[in-house]
A and B are shown apart, each in its own frame.
Chain A
Amino acid sequence: MIELVNVHKSFNNKKILDSVSIKIEKGETFVIIGQSGVGKTTILRHIAGFFDPDHGDVFIEAERMNGADPAKKSRLRERMGFLFQSGALINWLTVRENVALPLAEHRLGSISEINRIVDEKLELLQLLDSGDKMPADISGGMKKRAGLARAIVRNPSIILYDEPTSGLDPVMSARISDMIIRMKSELGVTSVVVTHDMVSAYNIADRIAMLYNGSIIECGTPEQIRGSSSPIVRQFVEGSLIGPIEV
């Protein structure tokens, strides 16, 4: 379970998160939507322990992430996988070496064991044929899948997705969304997804929260968000120019 309690965060005197409280249940896929620059990724980075809140607390499976020493943060991060927006693959390693990196660096198994696990994950993400390619030689969608393979290689209980479908064509977006659903059904992970792709959000989410002006203004199932009476939520999900959101 992930819990953010009354989280406040400012950068250069600009308030980004203003009393954000979220409770995400085990095995749930929780999607955070909102305009660009509204602070969605900041929430993910708080969960991952890259940022500590100015006020408030972040709990990962009942253990406090904020204020933890680097060793504890590192231990908590072992339970998490993070799919970065760009994939964040190490550019001098092949796809296979990238996926094997967490296992090899922590010496979690023999070479044959690591190879077996990496093959398994590459197959799950349909990347087995591209294992020997360099990150520069693969498409954006493949980079994201490779990043996802690396994120799940240690079987984390939580996966954080930062804009998993941004910059991808609709077919590839659907494929990535399908991967996220499969991660939940096959591995039973808790997922936190940041996106503004509403098609993907409706497909994958158990619950959707809308972040606006640093606060969660609405949180509910995809059906509840679709039928929201809030003019802000309606304008955002419909992609309308007319409404309270200033463009």
Chain B
Amino acid sequence: MGISAAAVWTVIFTRARGFDMPADFRISYRKRFMDSVSALGSRLLYQVNFTGFTLILIFKAFIQMRHAFFKRREIVKQMYVSGVKSMVVCGIVALLGGMIFSLQIGLQLKTYGQSDFVPTMIINVMNKELGALLTGIILTAFSGAAMAAEVGTMKVSEEIDALEMMSINPVRYLVMPRMAAMMLMMPALTVYTVILGVSGAAVICYFQLGMSMEAYFRRIVESIWFKDMYVCMLKSLVFAVIISSISCANGLKAANGALGVGHATRVAVVSSLLMILISGYFITSLFYGGFL
């Protein structure tokens, strides 16, 4: 379909130019044009196919959640791998993120004598956006990449085929525990990131903006809204599903040895980050853009 459309457009385009090109140049030009349209079409079809594969994988993994109790040991192991092990990185990023953010807005607001608003801004930004976003980005780099590489290596070394030969469902054995673990750890890590971000900001408010700790935390508590909290949790759950599903899907589609695993890992990280940003925008827009 794509190729024939390309051929028609090539003929129209070359005739519309109003001069005769050498025959071999015309053929070469037409062929190159058709090849690029064909390649674009193939790429588009692959993306549509892959998106469908990922959505079906999410659906299958949710169905397999009924076996979560039987796979509890694997889920706990994955919670440790994808959650506990990334606590140090999450903590450092959250603490420094909170410090940098409060320093920037604190210095600006201080010039207008409005530094009292720093705690309100910090808790709002951390709860509404940065908490889930920072955690999502860290877990994508830390756990998503590891998931894609691990599943991809299993795929290219025939371990997934071996599971199928043993009539073991790879979604139940590999994907479901990783997704369940991520869905359990992501909200917990998001709360942890928010707390550390707010704590980092507290240090700056105390030492550089001259605010007392009591006043800072009083303003924080006053500015916590239930809606912000549940939107934050919803985002973290959505991000968890995105990271685990995209990473596992890329791993399961890996081919061509170590090169293929590297490619799958890279695509998994980039796609997860993009999808986190896109879904983050839509959730924010849904809850704070006047829809709900």
Contacts and interface: CB of A to CB of B under 8 A. Distances in A.
Say whether A and B bind each other.
yes
Interface of A: 48, 50, 74-75, 77-78, 80-82, 84-86, 88-91, 101-102, 105-106, 147, 150-151, 154
Interface string B237-264: 0000000000000000000000000000
A147 B164 CA distance: 14
11 contacts: A50-B164, A74-B164, A77-B165, A80-B165, A82-B161, A82-B165, A84-B161, A85-B158, A88-B161, A90-B162, A105-B173
A91 B153 CA distance: 10
Nearest to A71: B167
Interface in B54-98: none
B166 interface: yes
A86 B157 contact: yes
Max chain A Cβ within 10 angstroms of own Cβ: one of B157, B163, B166, B173: B166
B168 interface: yes
Contacts of B161: 48, 50, 82, 84, 88
Contact of B162 (A78, A88, A106, A154): A88
A72 to B, nearest CB: 11
Contacts of A91: 154, 159
A30 to B, nearest CB: 18
A221 B154 CA distance: 37
B158 A84 contact: yes
Contacts of B158: 84-86, 88
> Top 9 A-B pairs ranked by shortest CB distance?
A88-B162, A102-B166, A88-B158, A82-B165, A74-B167, A84-B158, A105-B168, A88-B159, A77-B167
B149 to A, nearest CB: 12
B167 to A, nearest CB: 4
Contacts of B163: 90
B230 to A, nearest CB: 36
A147 B154 CA distance: 15
Interface in B121-176: 154, 157-159, 161-168, 173
A154 B159 CA distance: 18
Nearest to B71: A105
A101 B166 contact: yes
Nearest to B70: A107
Nearest to A102: B166
B167 A90 contact: no
B268 to A, nearest CB: 20
A78 B168 CA distance: 10
A154 B166 CA distance: 9
Contacts of B162: 82, 84, 88-90, 147, 150
Contact of A101 (B154, B157, B164, B168): B168
A81 B168 contact: no
Interface in B157-212: 157-159, 161-168, 173
Max chain B Cβ within 10 angstroms of own Cβ: one of A48, A91, A105: A105
B159 A90 contact: yes
A204 B196 CA distance: 66
Given A74-B167, A101-B168, 19 more contacts: A48-B165, A77-B164, A77-B167, A80-B165, A84-B158, A84-B162, A85-B158, A86-B157, A88-B158, A88-B159, A88-B161, A89-B159, A90-B162, A105-B166, A105-B168, A106-B167, A147-B162, A151-B165, A154-B166
Nearest to B157: A86
Interface in B23-56: none
